[in-house]
Structure 1
Amino acid sequence: MATQLKNLSDFSHTTVPNAAPYRYGIVVAEWNAKITGALYEGAYQSLIKHGAQESQIYTYSVPGSFELISGADILLKSNNIDTVICLGCVIQGETRHFDFICQAVATGLSNVALKHEKPVIFGVLTTDNEQQAFDRAGGKHGNKGDEAAITAIKMVDLANQLKPII
């Protein structure tokens, strides 16, 4: 496995733009709260580290990962938000529910991004077990919340750079 020995939250090889000019929405699933809380902390701290102010970050909770779709849509409709970071965790169980939820969330968030023409970031862990989730929420593989925040900063900056030519 490619991630077995790698910290996925190492950004030393890339330049991260200044986060200060933009407003960020973070939508966090309450299901698997210990994990999503760690993802949130990683995302929030990364935004602050790269120049965002607390007043530029709007955080809302939704019941589960499926609700991230409507949470992101509502947030983009109701506020002057430049990008939304969606954080959740779906852990494989005994039924196919995992497959349906993961596919629906990925498709739904893509559709929200296209509808609003703004970056909607998929920070949803889709793991086989709880340990894999903890490993990716501040454990040995870094924090997917950090990655989601960096992705949001880069994508909103790209959108801003391209505005004059679109």
Structure 2
Amino acid sequence: MAKVRIGIVVSEFNNEITFDMLNEAKKHIASEHNNAKILYTCKVPGVFDMPLMVEELLKKKNIDAVVTLGAVIKGETSHDKVITNSTVNLIGELSLKHRKPVSLGITGPDMTFEQAEARITPVTQHAINAAILMTRRLKKIRHEKTKETRTPY
């Protein structure tokens, strides 16, 4: 079976967390998923900037899935909720539009730095696993032979 070809979009904002997420993603694929490879790693200034880069990756024929990695930390306002909600909605729409998985490896909203830091490994691994699993399942259902029932006229 062909390797799942992944593009990663990682936010540079809160890079103390997000760059650790990127390293965890690379490590997890190398150790647990010999059936996948990262073709592109794209950095964007912040989580809000992800959808445009996600769309560019989804347009590529050699990309099967995109993994997003980011950390949205709670500040003094509700800005973290606005950023997270709008980004997640757009990412979901792009996945449907292009019919390719986009997995969510974004921590937040309402999260402290310490909480986001504690979630680096589980959130990143889940995002990688989800992208690979969804790609495999979509390929299977798209190529599955169905038995047609014909009604005689």
Q: 1:79 and 1:34, CA in 2 relative to 1: closer, same or farther beyond 3 A?
A: farther
Tell me if the contact between 1:44 and 1:149 (Cα under 8 Å) persists in the aligned partners.
Answer: no
- Count residues with an aligned counterpart: 143
Deviation per CA, 1:63-88: give whole Å up to 9, x if none.
10011111110111145200000001
Tell me if the contact between 2:50 and 2:87 (Cα under 8 Å) persists in the aligned partners.
Answer: yes
- Higher RCO (Cα < 8 Å, 6 or more apart): 1
For residues 70 and 3 of structure 2, the distance between their equivalents in structure 1, rounded to whole angstroms, comes to 26
* 2:119 equivalent in structure 1: 136
* 1:122 equivalent in structure 2: 104
* 2:131 equivalent in structure 1: 152
Give 1:73's match in structure 2, choosing from 51, 55, 64: 55
> Once superposed, which parts of structure 1, at least 4 consecutive aligned residues long, lie more than 2 Å away?
none
For residues 112 and 11 of structure 2, the distance between their equivalents in structure 1, rounded to whole angstroms, comes to 17
Tell me if the contact between 2:25 and 2:124 (Cα under 8 Å) persists in the aligned partners.
Answer: yes
Q: Alpha carbon RMSD of aligned pairs, Å? A: 1.8
2:123 partner letter: K
Structure 1 gap segments, 5+ residues each: 1-17
Q: Max radius of gyration: which structure?
A: 2
TM-score calculated relative to the size of structure 2: 0.86
Structure 2 gap segments, 5+ residues each: 146-153
For residues 159 and 45 of structure 1, the distance between their equivalents in structure 2, rounded to whole angstroms, comes to 25
Deviation per CA, 1:83-125: give whole Å up to 9, x if none.
0000011011111211110110110110110110000011100
How high is the sequence identity, in percent, across the aligned residues? 34
Higher helix proportion (structure 1 or 2): 2
The answer on 1:87 being equivalent to 2:69 is yes
Give 1:97's match in structure 2, choosing from 76, 79, 91: 79
